[in-house]
Amino acid sequence: MNLIVVGLSHKTAPIELREKLAFAEKHLQDALEKLLGLPAIKEGLILSTCNRVEIYAKVDDSSTGKQTICRFIANYHQLDPDQFTAYLYSYVNQAAVRHTFRVAGSLDSMIVGEPQILGQLKEAYQLARNCGTTGVLLNNLFPRAFGVAKKMRTETGISQNAVSVSFAAVELAKKIFDNLKDKVVMIIGAGEMSELVAQHLISNGVSNIFVSNRTYERAVELAEKFAGRAIKYDRLLEEMSRADIIISSTGAPHIVIYHKDVQAAILARKQRSMFFIDIAVPRDIDPEVNKIDNVYLYDIDDLQSVVKANIRGRQREARQAEEITDREVIQFCNCLKRLDVAPTIVALRESLESVRRQELNKALSKLAGLSDKERQVIESMTQGIINKILHKPISSLKHHSAANDIQNYIDTARQLFDLKEQD
């Protein structure tokens, strides 16, 4: 097989080093071409994200292959290998297959179950294919890895439940309101976290957004981003009763929305539910608000508790996903072993067919006056002899194709029949 993966990730290297070794998207094709220009590399793919830089390759020899890839990384980025080799990991053959499947399934990600890595791996594979740097091995490995990742997501809950504060807020909103499409959202403060929550709400169908901020120009800017409407800060409490969901993150050193303010708003709404997401530290919303009927308030600690519980849930599901990986790795490696046997079987057939054709032509040249039917009988007879000679060695190769010592069978067959070495 001679598959190797060499790389580093958020688990082994600091971001400062990952940045130095990253391959810019616009330069990836050039990097792939340089990689495949190295004699030891037969196939190659480069995966470069904010959390990992990895090179997947088919090599002649795993030890030489690792050294070649390390030199390639050093030369390409003009770095001394001593600056990064201590942070590198490498996997060979079955371990490399397992790592590939775990990466595709997000089991090796910073957040288990996140979907981004699968898309990034698909893009890396498509680019490598377009550049002609993949072959039989990688063209079998990556589609299988994508299938395994899909199986993990459909057969386990690894990708379910919110594992970010902004997403957790939206998931809670869904539990309070069956449908978010007709809900009005008010954003108080124009910070990054408020923006993330708003983006998640919009992706779940919300279209009516108000933005209020002490700096009105910033409120206008954010409102335009979400096709919403800016509200002057001094009209905040007056407009609040129109909102179903209020996201607050002002950075103020004191309470912004008090119990009496929400009490007035819920009365104006005729007791229709209101959901407050307070992601400010210090808090913007009076905790006493939670005591009002039909009002639901979650602060940053509440949301983080939800996230932690969901992460633990994903980790439990990850154990089941690891079991899927174990089974799929064994099946795939057995398939690869059968692929390793195939060139030998083809070469064996071609070699004996060449001998048969030469000897048949010699014999026919000495047998003048044969009819077409007689020639066909002789042709069929020689083909039958070759098939009978090949039957047992080919059956034996196929039968042992999944064995750990299959290479011994391949080498023996090639020596016995004087076959050319495999590429």
Task: Give the residue numbers marked as catalytic.
Answer: 50
The span from the CA of 260 to the CA of 266, in Å, is 10
The span from the CA of 57 to the CA of 133, in Å, is 9
Q: Residue 235 contacts by C-beta under 8 Å, 6 or more apart in sequence?
A: 212
The span from the CA of 161 to the CA of 164, in Å, is 9
The DSSP 8-state label assigned to residue 421 in this structure reads P
CB atoms within 10 A of CB 292: 17
Question: Does the N-terminal peptide bond of residue 343 adopt cis geometry, omega within 30 degrees of 0?
Answer: no
The span from the CA of 57 to the CA of 5, in Å, is 6
Token code pair at residue 367: 């047998």
Q: Residue 146 contacts by C-beta under 8 Å, 6 or more apart in sequence?
A: 104, 118, 121, 122
Nearest to 352 by CA among 418, 421, 423: 418
Token code pair at residue 77: 């980025």
